[in-house]
């Protein structure tokens, strides 16, 4: 009876401290006796610090010159007034001579590109005006050259070399609006008298001032 009591699951109830799994020791793992153990050491030898490599000194940027000298494209000259204004700025930000020349080259390249674009646009505009003149219903077609003579004679009589240059350089000598005006006025003068019945007398007797007043009397 005593052995059965020993193996019975019914026995003395465990206390609250006995049923906690936290900190419970496994008797099989407990040492039977305490022994002094030597302190463990890391078998891996410590790395020796690598010698620091000497840092190479940074190359100094070229200093700004006392005076900037620029290689100018053909047809350009140095603008001294502009140089006086830009030089302090370039020095303040430490621009070298080489860098300044690169900036100048870029500037001139941009100016050339702009001028080329302007010239191309002018050529295209004049070409368009010429096509419009040839197709104009009043002065164009097969009689265009004959009609243009009316305007040419008017300019020869009342114009000047400066006016001819202005018209040619601006391209207005082919502008349809301008040409139609010159041709119309030239035709009036080719009849010797004005179209209003000749009360102003022969056209050839009129002075340039009188012609201007007759043409523009509504606006003067």
Both structure tokens of 35: 């022994």
Mean pLDDT for the chain overall:
75
pLDDT for residue 75: 86
pLDDT digits (tens, 9 = 90+) for 122-164: 999 999 999 999 999 999 999 999 999 999 999 999 999 999 9
Rounded CA separation 205/22 (Å): 132
Write the Ramachandran bin of 14: left for phi over 0, alpha for psi from -120 to 50, otherwise beta.
Answer: beta
**Other beta carbons within 10 Å of 164:** 14
Both structure tokens of 204: 């050839």
Mean pLDDT of 173-194: 85
Q: Is residue 37 scored above 60 in pLDDT?
A: no
Q: How confident is the model at residue 69 (pLDDT cuts 50, 70, 90)?
A: very high
**Angle (deg, nearest 10), helices 97-135 and 176-190:** 50
pLDDT digits (tens, 9 = 90+) for 44-59: 666 666 666 656 666 6
pLDDT for residue 192: 55
pLDDT for residue 39: 56
pLDDT for residue 139: 92
pLDDT for residue 63: 83
Residue 172 in contact with residue 178, Cβ under 8 Å? yes
Residue 164 in contact with residue 127, Cβ under 8 Å? no
Under 8 Å CB-to-CB from 70, ≥6 apart: which residues? 78, 100, 101, 104
Using alpha carbons, select from 187, 107, 95 the residue that is nearest to residue 147.
Answer: 187
Residue 151 in contact with residue 179, Cβ under 8 Å? yes
């Amino acid at each position: 009876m005593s052995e059965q009591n020993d193996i019975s699951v019914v026995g003395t109830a465990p206390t609250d401290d006995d049923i906690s799994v936290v900190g419970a020791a496994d008797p099989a793992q407990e040492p039977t006796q305490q022994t002094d153990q030597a302190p463990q050491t890391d078998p891996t030898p410590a790395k020796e610090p690598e010698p620091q490599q000497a840092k190479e000194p940074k190359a100094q940027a070229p200093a700004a010159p006392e005076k900037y000298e620029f290689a100018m494209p053909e047809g350009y000259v140095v603008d001294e007034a502009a140089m006086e204004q830009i030089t302090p700025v370039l020095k303040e930000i430490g621009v070298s001579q080489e860098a300044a020349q690169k900036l100048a080259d870029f500037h001139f390249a941009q100016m050339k590109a702009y001028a080329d674009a302007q010239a191309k646009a002018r050529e295209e505009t004049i070409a368009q005006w010429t096509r419009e003149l040839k197709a104009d219903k009043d002065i164009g077609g097969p009689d265009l050259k004959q009609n243009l003579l009316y305007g040419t004679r008017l300019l020869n009589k009342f114009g000047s070399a400066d006016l001819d240059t202005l018209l040619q350089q601006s391209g207005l000598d082919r502008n349809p609006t301008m040409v139609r005006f010159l041709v119309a006025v030239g035709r009036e003068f080719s009849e010797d008298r004005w179209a209003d019945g000749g009360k102003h007398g022969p056209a050839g007797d009129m002075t340039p001032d009188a012609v201007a007043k007759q043409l523009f009397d509504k606006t003067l």
